[in-house]
Structure 1
Amino acid sequence: MTAQLTPLDLNADLGEGYGAWSMGDDAAMLDVVTTANIACGGHAGDPGTMRAATRAARARDVAITAHVAYPDLGGFGRRFLDVSPADLTDLLIVQVGALQAMAGAERAQVRGVKPHGALYNALAHHEAQAAAVVQALQELGGELPLVAAPGAVVVDVARRAGIEVVLEGFADRAYLPDGTLTPRALPGAVLTDPAAVAEQALSIATEQRVRAADGSRVELPVRSLCLHGDTPGAVELARAVRAGLESAGVRLEAAL
């Protein structure tokens, strides 16, 4: 199996604590990934958590994206909210702006925007919310790329507006035959076996395909690969993925 010529970005959702509550091992994950998606107040993340995650990412020369979400701390951003387009645009501008301010204080830079959880999933088909997200990116200056899933409605909306899009796949999530993620409520939606996760990552990286839950093969032409920081055994999974990719000759570097 020959590795792809294009480098691959490994990203992880980090900075997902809030107050006295912490989530995952950010320090260990930052030693593995090339991009950190830092929560900025929607589903998680308070000023201190944002600062700590930003400082740690900068110290390791890991790229930073704003991990924006519905304002849903109680549901960790995994519940769909029927937010009006105007409100959603404003919410995202505030979240990205907060992380940009903190990054500036730490002499770092926010290089892109990645939606989280239910918002990410909604952007696959919800045209009004997709337009609202792109509007926020335009009002933020139009220079921040958007991280999104192949085939999502928001991809075309963003590209028509002149917003750069980085396509993303998932190493630790099961896929349906149509190329969308298996809903978390279903059994097997989250992959936790290091060998299985590493195998899926390698398939995506070198073949740009993934095996769906029914055994079929789904095309997945992506530039970035996500490893969830809150998945059970996340650090072990991340290390297995990186080791497998490097052994196969895949070059790892930030996409942004």
Structure 2
Amino acid sequence: MSRSDREAAIVDLDGTVYLGDRLVPGADNAIETLRARGLDVLFLTNKAIEDRSHHCRKLRGLGVSATREDVITSGWVTAQYVADEYPDHEAFVVGEEPLLAELERAGIDVTTGSPGELLVVSMDREFDYEQLELAQRTLEGGGPFLATNPDRTCPTETGSIPDAAGMIGAVEGVTGRSVDAVLGKPSPVTIDTALEALSADPRNCLIVGDRLETDVEMGNKAGMESVLVLTGATERSAISDSSASPDHIVDSLADVESVLE
């Protein structure tokens, strides 16, 4: 891909643009550089415990220009998927309030106190035994088992914390059911959603993120040019052991200009 061919950049948030409430140094200037080079920038996060508006406000507070339409979350993608595929199903949800609200905005009936007709599992920092039992009872009815994202951990300023994989694993462990569909990166559903939002050819897209198994893998699947940053979940020593292969490796999003050159 030549410099002039690039038309869009898909940029991860946690571990790439910021860590917790702290901007990765130089990330704001890097995003402006991408835009100045004529690339449309879409922020794409697997984090479902905050909605699109929250991420937009957070970016603006850190000095990064963004609108709600510039942000796609795994929670929003999941809500659209459920509304399209299972519009009449009541969803039992393991997840936090922003995900519940996202599903409800999409017209989905949601329950957290009784079994549903399908199960949606996501990161939930108050996950408990009662939720696990209700998830089990939901799947005993034969309904679909969906998850927002596959991430094992979420990077923060003070280190990583458990993410959705912990809740997914607990449900899989007690039910013997494997998740039917994971909707966040690197799923084809999210690839299609992002490319539709950008109206872009994947061959002319950069994807920039801190995870081999989600960001880089999504780039590999879609035929995008992938850039791995080392400010979040991945250490350089892990790269050689991964089946996902980044086109570029940089210390930080601040170094993305070297990729553009």
* TM-score tier (shorter): 0.3 to 0.5
TM-score normalised according to structure 1 size: 0.35
| Larger-gyration structure (1/2) | 2
More helix by share: 2
TM-score normalised according to structure 2 size: 0.34
